[in-house]
Structure 1
Amino acid sequence: MVSDRGLQVLRAIVTDYVDTHEPVGSRAIVDRHSFGVSAATIRNDMAALEEEELIAQPHTSSGRVPTDKGYRAFVDHLADVRPLSPAQRVAIESFLADPADLDDLLSRTVRLLTQLTGQVALVQYPSFARATVTHLQLVALDVRRVLVILVTDTGRVSQRLTVLEHDIDAVALDRILARLQPLVVGRLAGESADLAAGAHAQASTTDTGEMALTAITSAIAEELDEFRQNRLVMAGSATLARRGADFRGSIHPLLEAIEEQVTLLRLMSEMAADDNGLATSIGRENEPFGLGEASIVASEYDATVGRARVGLMGPTRMDYPRNLASARAVARYLTRVLEEDESR
């Protein structure tokens, strides 16, 4: 059982180690922090922390560094996540103001988070499977190229270019639109995707008009299927290379996870959140995902169709209070922007 002062000593060790990247000794704690006790007393507290495997001694005669378990205790006992400075809040609002669409908003979000924290930034797309398709339009760019435009009640606008094998005129395109609208418009995106896929499967592969229908319904089905898939937007992977010394082993598993996304999507989805919607997964807690060298912090944001997460990934030696505060502030701003967009 760690005493209250022991937890304060742990907090001092974590804070100093994150700041200096040097093992922390008892004398340094006495000099930098106002405990009002001797270095010998601090050494006793450090011995108790080491016995609980919250800190470790990397080298003989050196100071102590936090373990993954120590970082976990530190995060779990954070009294509060410190707020961002006024300047940081202004930066968030100015950088994310007036996005062109959701893609633009989330792309800006990860770039901003990387600039604020120096970590890899991750943002989940909300799943649009429960969104309703409100509009379908087919625009002929020329006789063989058709732009498929889909709009949902969440404000998402999606466009996909389809190239046909044969020429098509405006009358034939209008007929195809009339056939597809009842299958797509006014339905949930997931249901529309299934119905469009069914129409694609039933279309003839010999009639010219039916062949055009096949190509267009295939494009619609693929686009709507993406609506219900989880996706991540990421930025800042280059920061891992610059911070290679902060990792005990290779950063290659992290780079592979960034490239493949599936592992990170699972991890981001399965992280347990506290009452404030904040979640952390630290070091060895990520070993089932092959990411035992990394820590991830995340905060939830609300979209019309559900909740998703904004996160940061980096070494276990990260500034957890700052990163959690950054993720939380950006998540709150995303929620506000999406709510305002919905009310328009």
Structure 2
Amino acid sequence: MVNADERRFEVLRAIVADYVSNHEPVGSKALVERHNLGVSSATVRNDMAALEEDGYITQPHTSAGRVPTDKGYRLFVDRLSEIKPLSAAERRAITSFLDGALDLDDVLRRSVRLLAQLTRQVAVVQYPTLTRSTVRHIEVVQITPARLMLVLITDTGRVDQRMVDLGDVITEDAVARLRTVLNSALSGQRLNQASATVAELPEDAPPDLRDSMTRVATTLIESLVEHPEERLVLGGTANLTRNVADFPGSLRQILEALEEQVVVLKLLATARDQGTVTVRIGEENEAEEMRSTSVVSIGYGSRGTMLGGMGVVGPTRMDYPGTMAAVRAVATYVGDILAGH
């Protein structure tokens, strides 16, 4: 026989399901009609009274219906025994959509669009943190006799191009020697280490390459430091406006907060592990402006190294199992794509 706590959790689960689906306060009569709870209406009413007393549900106005509280959603999420798998069709859609990506920028843009479409929420993806990236290769291309193009390629697939005006002509042989020196010194180094190494290269360069190396090093350092303006990609912000009733009086401040990269980066800061989905519900969010939202996030990466975070922001009234499944699946595919770059 099911004990009272388990029975009440089943009532809570049913209330969450109906409220997420219909956005209407849920009454005991509707629960009995829609869900096979195996108990009488009177028992359901008693269980709802107990859940309300314990703070898991509340009565928004003087109707018979109840809605989940943040505490109720938290219990529901914590009791999810496993994240439901995506359907084969959903997995195929993710694969085909992301496999066509041309480079890192395209991968992240596609990921955001895909997450926003799958969850109907605001999707956020953090660029791979440069301090965790390593130099894969530096290409040096001679554009004119006195102008070079530097192409920095990282292990995460990031490609950064910079032009260098040398102020004097340079031979093809000297360009080849520059390329060899740069790759010998920097290949495989973390980007924050590489910037320190680059600064020392002009001192060690042969006299005939010293001026060129100084200009190359100065330009290359710009590629090796963090670019804060490029750290996030957002998509699906308009999805919030579809659920205006979920944000009474707070939608504008949420939209303004999403424009602040610092706020969004804090939302993703809890995503510290690959494969582990984190859910922050309502008042659990540190930023006051975001306390009428829920944030579902995860870390993504390749070869066991976490590169950044991704997730979705939406109302507390969201499909948690489906959202968690979509966030985890997209993160897995992005990690696989970056590992293959």
TM-score, scaled to structure 1: 0.84
Q: Does 1:72 align with 2:74?
A: yes
Which residue is 2:291 aligned to?
A: 292
Matches within 5 A, 1:1-344: 3-142=5-144, 146-152=148-154, 154=155, 156-162=157-163, 164=165, 166=167, 168-170=169-171, 180-181=182-183, 183-197=185-199, 210=211, 216-226=216-226, 231-271=231-271, 277-288=276-287, 290-304=289-303, 306-307=305-306, 308-339=308-339, 341=340
Alpha-carbon distance, 1:142 to partner: 4.1
Alpha-carbon distance, 1:218 to partner: 3.2
CA contact (8 A) 2:250 2:289 kept: no
Alpha-carbon distance, 1:253 to partner: 3.4
CA contact (8 A) 1:271 1:281 kept: no
Partner letter of residue 89 of structure 2?
A
Structure 2, gaps ≥5 residues long: 204-209
State percent identity of aligned pairs.
Answer: 45
Kindly provide the CA deviation profile for residues 159-209 of structure 1, in whole angstroms up to 9, marking residues without a partner as x: 323364946544676676566555534533221112335669x9xxxxxx8
Q: Do the aligned partners of residues 248 and 161 (structure 1) sit closer, same or farther apart at CA in structure 2, a change above 3 Å counting?
A: same
CA contact (8 A) 1:131 1:305 kept: no
Counterpart CA distance in 2 for 1:144 and 1:19 is 65
TM-score, scaled to structure 2: 0.85
Counterpart CA distance in 2 for 1:122 and 1:184 is 32
Which residue is 2:207 aligned to?
A: none
CA contact (8 A) 1:144 1:164 kept: yes
User: Match of 1:296, SS?
Assistant: strand
CA contact (8 A) 2:145 2:169 kept: yes
Q: Which moved more, 1:132-141 or 1:12-21?
A: 132-141
Counterpart CA distance in 2 for 1:311 and 1:138 is 37
Counterpart CA distance in 1 for 2:240 and 2:261 is 16
The count of corresponding residues between Structure 1 and Structure 2 is: 333
Alpha-carbon distance, 1:156 to partner: 2.3
Counterpart CA distance in 2 for 1:322 and 1:255 is 24
Alpha-carbon distance, 1:251 to partner: 2.3
Q: Do the aligned partners of residues 300 and 271 (structure 1) sit closer, same or farther apart at CA in structure 2, a change above 3 Å counting?
A: closer
Counterpart CA distance in 2 for 1:258 and 1:54 is 29
CA contact (8 A) 1:11 1:74 kept: yes
Q: Do the aligned partners of residues 26 and 130 (structure 1) sit closer, same or farther apart at CA in structure 2, a change above 3 Å counting?
A: closer
Alpha-carbon distance, 1:106 to partner: 1.9
Kindly provide the CA deviation profile for residues 36-71 of structure 1, in whole angstroms up to 9, marking residues without a partner as x: 222221111111111111111110124111111111
Which residue is 2:206 aligned to?
A: none
Counterpart CA distance in 2 for 1:137 and 1:68 is 52
Q: Do the aligned partners of residues 301 and 170 (structure 1) sit closer, same or farther apart at CA in structure 2, a change above 3 Å counting?
A: same
Alpha-carbon distance, 1:269 to partner: 1.9
Partner letter of residue 242 of structure 1?
R
Q: Do the aligned partners of residues 177 and 227 (structure 1) sit closer, same or farther apart at CA in structure 2, a change above 3 Å counting?
A: farther
Counterpart CA distance in 2 for 1:106 and 1:137 is 24
Counterpart CA distance in 1 for 2:280 and 2:314 is 11
Alpha-carbon distance, 1:335 to partner: 3.1
Q: Do the aligned partners of residues 89 and 236 (structure 1) sit closer, same or farther apart at CA in structure 2, a change above 3 Å counting?
A: same
Partner letter of residue 338 of structure 2?
L
Counterpart CA distance in 2 for 1:228 and 1:250 is 27
CA contact (8 A) 1:126 1:305 kept: no
Kindly provide the CA deviation profile for residues 228-247 of structure 1, in whole angstroms up to 9, marking residues without a partner as x: 99933221112122322221
Partner letter of residue 62 of structure 2?
T
Counterpart CA distance in 1 for 2:146 and 2:240 is 45
Query: RMSD value over aligned CA atoms?
Result: 3.2
Partner letter of residue 262 of structure 2?
V
Counterpart CA distance in 1 for 2:77 and 2:149 is 50
Counterpart CA distance in 1 for 2:89 and 2:199 is 50
CA contact (8 A) 1:299 1:324 kept: no
CA contact (8 A) 1:133 1:187 kept: yes
Partner letter of residue 162 of structure 2?
L
Alpha-carbon distance, 1:107 to partner: 1.6
Counterpart CA distance in 2 for 1:174 and 1:168 is 14
Which residue is 1:206 aligned to?
A: none
Q: Do the aligned partners of residues 94 and 177 (structure 1) sit closer, same or farther apart at CA in structure 2, a change above 3 Å counting?
A: closer
Q: Which moved more, 1:300-309 or 1:285-294?
A: 300-309
Q: Which moved more, 1:217-226 or 1:170-179?
A: 170-179
